[in-house]
A = this chain, B = another copy of it.
């Protein structure tokens, strides 16, 4: 079923920590692979390890991190791969910079109220951030700028994972990246 001539694109997830980006990225990746697509997930943490070790969480460090993810996603997408990114990517201007760089770019806003993300607190990060152990934590002590024109908005506090994934796949089809 592999379709090596399919057009690559970047599926850019953005949202608070704990909003469900990685879960949805995995889910959609599975569906795309079943459809014969080549897929790479560029997870915020993995990229930090391999490409951004030593970069801090200051505005500048974050911007550099997100630009690097964008650069690698761009290289993959222009070679026919679906590059899925799942980093918080809190700043609008850097996301838009990556949109311009990549061209084939669908932004998925994983919209989930901060209170719900804090309640989930899967990695225990909010607890640490609220205790002041993590400086500049998005949503707590650093801003999150929601997208103004995301191609898809999923509301993970109200929708099931399946519903959200279906919306994302529908958007991918609507933009001509999947038959």
Contact = CB atoms under 8 A, between A and B. Distances in A.
Interface of A: 2-6, 38, 40, 50-51, 53, 64, 67-68, 71-72, 75-76, 79-81
Instruction: Specify how many copies of this chain sit in the oligomer.
Output: 2
A50 B47 CA distance: 14
A6 B2 CA distance: 11
Given A2-B5, A51-B72, A75-B75, 10 more contacts: A38-B80, A40-B75, A40-B79, A50-B68, A50-B71, A51-B71, A53-B64, A72-B72, A79-B81, A80-B80
Contacts of A2: 4-5
A87 B4 CA distance: 29
Q: Which 6 pairs between the two chains have the least Cβ-Cβ distance?
A: A4-B4, A50-B71, A79-B81, A38-B79, A4-B5, A51-B68
Contact of A76 (B64, B71, B76): B76
A158 B32 CA distance: 50
